[in-house]
Amino acid sequence: MEKTRNIVVEFPKEIPVEKQSVELVERKGIGHPDSLCDGVAESVSRALCKEYIKRFGRVMHHNTDQVELVGGAADPKFGGGEITRPIYILLSGRATNYVDNEKIPAGDIAINAAMEYLRKNIKNFKDSYIDIEQKIGQGSADLQHVFRREGIPKSNDTSFGVGFAPLSITERLVLETERYINNGLKMKEVGEDIKVMGVRRDNNITLTIAAAMVSRYIDDLDAYKSVIEEMHEKLKDFVAKFDDRNIHIDINTGDDYEKGSVYITVMGTSAEQGDDGSVGRGNRANGLITPYRPMSMEATAGKNPINHVGKIYNLLANEIAKDIAEEGAEQAYVRIMSQIGKPIDQPLIASVQVIGDQKINKKAIEITDYWLENVTKITEMCVEGKVTTF
């Protein structure tokens, strides 16, 4: 007997964000303390998944979405500087540490994965800059029981996921500007702790960028000013490719040149000077913070990719929305809600709202049904690192 799913498609009379007068968008870059926690949490989950698959042929129960960062202390100086107190990172959460009589060194795997992630993503990182500790416990018995049920994975929570597509020009601009700064700008003086805030008022867009500069590569205040100017020119050229609207760029607006107070750091992140971080406090699953869009407050990074709908449904909702948008929807919003213990391919509701031609109603249902039928593709994408969670 063919399964029927609780899919509802609506066509609300709503003005798309792109056509509204004001829009706000934010992205915290990969070196921001909150993003560092997200990145570490996800890398730990992925490392555990790979170890479980290697040993047992399948992923075992775990959730490593509890990462806390306590900022350190630093003394950055033009041409140098030092870390005076290391950043403290606590890895917690739950993992399967034993299978029958076989012990899995989940704690060691977690610390190694976290350190590898930091070395890879913070160019001026040194192991001595971090004091890392793990307190990962054994998973709760009831959730392990839900996890082990045969067939389609059963939801380990009553929760919902949210996604939308396509991104507006302002959203794309904010997302791609941070990625460009951290991957394409090619300026060693610029650290990884980048925050981009975009504001659109009608056809005028302002990007306010906070960029942690690396002190060892900047000799004095004049050199700092030159770096800011060079960065500004490169960004002007980059954003000009997106749109012909008026795009204004401000960088490090908190600087006070007269007092010599500027945003310099030893290794390129504010985490070194007392700025703290937590998983789930920054970007949503699509990499943005979008107050003009529906969002879930659920942390995506670090949750297990097998049956934790707090992760799976956020990622799934974005994929569904993207595919519906490609069919011609001016805007697609997707909200999916689970019930604990129920198959993840059978949500309590999959609510799809489409702005645009109602002729795509049938296609929207087909796309949603297809992704729910193939929901385990999201698991594969997570384990292989082919999807971003922040």
- Minimal CA–CA distance to 153: which of 349, 308, 383, 300? 308
Average pLDDT score over the chain: 94
Task: Assess contact for 337 and 101: CB atoms under 8 A.
Answer: no
**Where does 236-366 show beta strands of DSSP type E?**
246-251, 264-265, 277-278, 331-337, 349-355
**pLDDT reading at 1 higher than 50:** no
Predicted local distance difference test score (pLDDT) of residue 62: 95
Predicted local distance difference test score (pLDDT) of residue 303: 96
CATH superfamily of 17-28+168-278: S-adenosylmethionine synthetase, N-terminal domain (3.30.300.340)
Q: Domain-by-domain residue ranges, the chain? A: 17-28+168-278
Q: How far apart are CA 191 and CA 47, in angstroms?
A: 26
Tell me the pLDDT band of 99, cut-offs 50, 70 and 90: confident
Question: Residue 172 burial (CB < 10 Å; 0-12/13-18/19+)?
Answer: middle
Tens digits of residue pLDDT in 3-24: 579 999 999 999 999 999 999 9
**pLDDT reading at 2 higher than 50:** no
CA separation (Å) from 33 to 182, 337, 383?
15, 30, 24
Tell me the mean pLDDT in the region 156-182: 97
Predicted local distance difference test score (pLDDT) of residue 187: 97
Q: Of 62-76, 129-143, 287-301, 328-342, which gets the smallest average pLDDT? A: 129-143
Task: Assess contact for 14 and 254: CB atoms under 8 A.
Answer: no
Q: How far apart are CA 228 and CA 222, in angstroms?
A: 10
Q: How far apart are CA 300 and CA 341, in angstroms?
A: 19
Q: How far apart are CA 138 and CA 123, in angstroms?
A: 34
CA separation (Å) from 330 to 24, 89, 362?
19, 43, 16
CA separation (Å) from 169 to 30, 177, 202, 347, 390?
21, 12, 12, 32, 19
Tell me the mean pLDDT in the region 200-206: 96
What's this model's pTM, rounded to 2 decimal places?
0.94
Adjacent-strand bridge partners of 194: 211
Tell me the mean pLDDT in the region 128-144: 81
Tens digits of residue pLDDT in 25-45: 999 999 999 999 999 999 999
Tens digits of residue pLDDT in 54-85: 999 999 999 999 999 999 999 999 999 999 99
**pLDDT reading at 316 higher than 50:** yes
Tell me the mean pLDDT in the region 112-117: 98
Residues 6+ apart with CB under 8 A from 390: 35, 38, 39, 42, 282, 283, 284, 285, 287, 300, 301
Predicted local distance difference test score (pLDDT) of residue 244: 82
- DSSP letter at 117 equals H
